[in-house]
Structures are given as structure tokens and as C-alpha cells.
């Protein structure tokens, strides 16, 4: 299972990146929030571009914003593996996925806990990744919503039935206690924030998650 670490909960993000550089985490997860799609505002494109310079890990960028285009067009894509937009926004999703792909970056769609998974159906052929939210997006340190794993299983089945190659990722409230259950559900990648970054030994916590 791949591990991506969210640095949302930390004030000193440069320090977090340098600590994560010395772990075996697969990606660093950047939670971008516009204060409108979610009630929190975090990360400007300039800040992300500056963090990329010091990172030895690739980023996966989770855009919790109403207007992803303005972020996608201003990001330095050289160190980004995935750009993920939300399925619930009132925008042309196909156009946004094409835009991401036009930069040779992998594209993902994220889905909030109460959104019907059928919202993803029209885009499955285009997607490199699906990010199932296991908390209401907005803040780190929330409790894992357990029915998220049923949603993951249903999506895995749809992916299998259609012979698709899509990375299944889950984000929110993942910790050492629920990691093994999450792994059993067939998840390819977990995003974890506070469980890793509230500790003094990031690598130790990453080991618990794998
Ligand atoms: C929530 C974010 C998550 C969150 C993860 O809106 O998308 O990435 O920061 O943090 P934890 O693991 O603390 O829930
Ligand atoms: Zn996230």
C-alpha cells in the first residue's frame, strides 16, 4: 500500500518536507482549499511551487476548490504526480481532466462522504486515480467515517468489471488502528496527515500504515 502524507496540519511546512524527504513515504499530499468549496483556506500556488523546490518526493495535489483551472494553470507541474479535483464542483469535469492530462500529469477525482458514487461513472475511462474522502473535507484530525470502506469496495468492483486501471486512494482519519482494515478493502494508496505529522518519528508511523 502506498502512503502519501498530508502536511495540512503543520505550520512549518518547509520543515515537514525536509523531515519527509528522509522517510520512505511515496508522495506528499497537498490539501488546497479556497474558503468556498470548504470552510478553510490553505496553500497558494506560489507556496506549493516553493515547497516543490525543496521536496525529494513527488506531490499529489488535492484541489478542494470551486475553480481548479486557475490553480492547475499556475502550478509548477515538474514535481507533481497527480492533480485531483472534486467531482461535486459545478464545472466541466471532462475539460478539467483534459487540462491536467495536457500537462502530462496524472488526473484524479475525489468524492465527498455523502456523494453518490455514480457521479464518477462518466469519467472512469479518463481517471488515473479516485480519492474517496473518509472525512468531510476541510480539516485534518477528524475521525474516520467507517462506511467509506463499503464505498471503496463498490468502486473496486466497478473498476474490475470494466477492466480499468485506476489507483484507489482514501483520505481522512487514517491511523495505525484502522490501517489494516483499510488495506483489506483493497486500497492502493492511503493519505494520512495528523497520525504521521503529530508524531516525532514520521517513519515509524508510516511503517504502521503500510
Ligand atoms: C481533509 C484533507 C485530508 C486531511 C488528512 O480535507 O483532504 O487530506 O488533511 O488529515 P488526517 O489524516 O489528519 O485526517
Ligand atoms: Zn486531502
Strand 58-64 with 41-42, pairing: unpaired
- How far away, in angstroms, is 69 Cα from ligand 2 center? 18
Which contiguous run of DSSP H or E holds residue 20? helix 13-21
Give just the sign of the alpha carbon dihedral 200, 45, 75, 63: positive
Residue 142 Cα: closest atom of ligand 1: 14
Q: What are phi and psi of 171, to 5 degrees?
A: -145, 120
* DSSP calls for 142-189: PPP-TTHHHHHHHHHHHHHHTT---EEEEESS--TTTHHHHHHTT-SE
Q: Where residue 168 falls among pLDDT bands split at 50, 70, 90?
A: very high
Residue range 170-176: mean pLDDT, rounded: 98
Q: Where residue 157 falls among pLDDT bands split at 50, 70, 90?
A: very high
Burial of 77 (0-12, 13-18, 19+ CB in 10 A): middle
Measured by CA distance, the residue closest to atom 6 of ligand 1 is 137
> Active-site residues: which are they?
31, 171
Judge contact between 88 and 119, C-beta under 8 A: yes
| Nearest listed ligand to the Cα of residue 60 | 2
Ligand 1 mutation target, pool 113, 193, 205, most atoms within 8 A of CB? 193
Q: Where residue 142 falls among pLDDT bands split at 50, 70, 90?
A: very high
- The reported pLDDT for the residue numbered 97 is 98
Q: Is the CB of 60 under 6 A from ligand 1?
A: no
- The reported pLDDT for the residue numbered 145 is 98
Residue range 15-44: mean pLDDT, rounded: 97
If one counts every other C-beta atom within 10 angstroms of the C-beta of residue 54, the result is: 11
CA distance 71 to 165: 26
pLDDT > 70: percent of the chain: 100
Determine the longest span between alpha carbons in the chain, in angstroms. 44
Judge contact between 32 and 8, C-beta under 8 A: no
Q: Where residue 1 falls among pLDDT bands split at 50, 70, 90?
A: very high
Q: Where residue 99 falls among pLDDT bands split at 50, 70, 90?
A: very high
Amino acid at each position: 500500500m502506498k502512503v502519501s502524507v498530508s502536511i495540512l496540519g503543520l505550520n512549518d511546512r518547509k520543515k515537514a518536507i525536509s523531515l519527509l524527504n528522509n522517510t520512505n513515504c511515496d508522495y506528499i499530499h497537498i490539501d488546497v482549499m479556497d474558503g468556498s468549496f470548504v470552510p478553510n483556506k490553505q496553500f497558494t500556488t506560489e507556496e506549493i511551487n516553493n515547497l516543490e523546490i525543496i521536496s525529494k518526493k513527488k506531490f499529489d495535489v488535492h484541489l478542494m476548490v470551486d475553480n481548479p483551472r486557475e490553480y492547475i494553470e499556475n502550478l509548477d507541474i515538474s514535481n507533481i504526480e497527480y492533480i485531483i479535483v472534486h467531482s461535486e464542483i459545478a464545472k466541466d469535469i471532462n475539460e478539467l481532466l483534459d487540462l491536467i492530462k495536457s500537462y502530462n500529469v496524472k488526473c484524479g477525482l475525489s468524492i465527498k462522504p455523502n456523494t453518490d458514487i455514480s457521479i464518477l461513472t462518466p469519467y472512469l475511462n479518463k481517471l488515473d486515480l479516485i480519492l474517496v474522502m473518509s472525512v468531510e473535507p476541510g480539516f485534518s484530525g477528524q475521525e474516520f467515517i467507517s462506511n467509506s470502506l463499503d464505498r471503496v469496495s463498490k468502486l473496486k468492483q466497478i473498476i474490475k468489471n470494466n477492466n480499468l486501471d485506476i489507483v484507489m486512494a482514501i483520505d481522512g482519519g487514517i491511523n495505525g488502528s484502522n490501517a489494516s482494515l483499510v488495506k483489506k478493502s483493497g486500497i492502493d494508496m492511503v493519505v494520512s496527515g495528523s497520525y504521521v505529522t503529530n508524531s516525532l518519528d514520521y517513519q515509524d508511523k508510516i511503517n504502521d500504515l503500510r
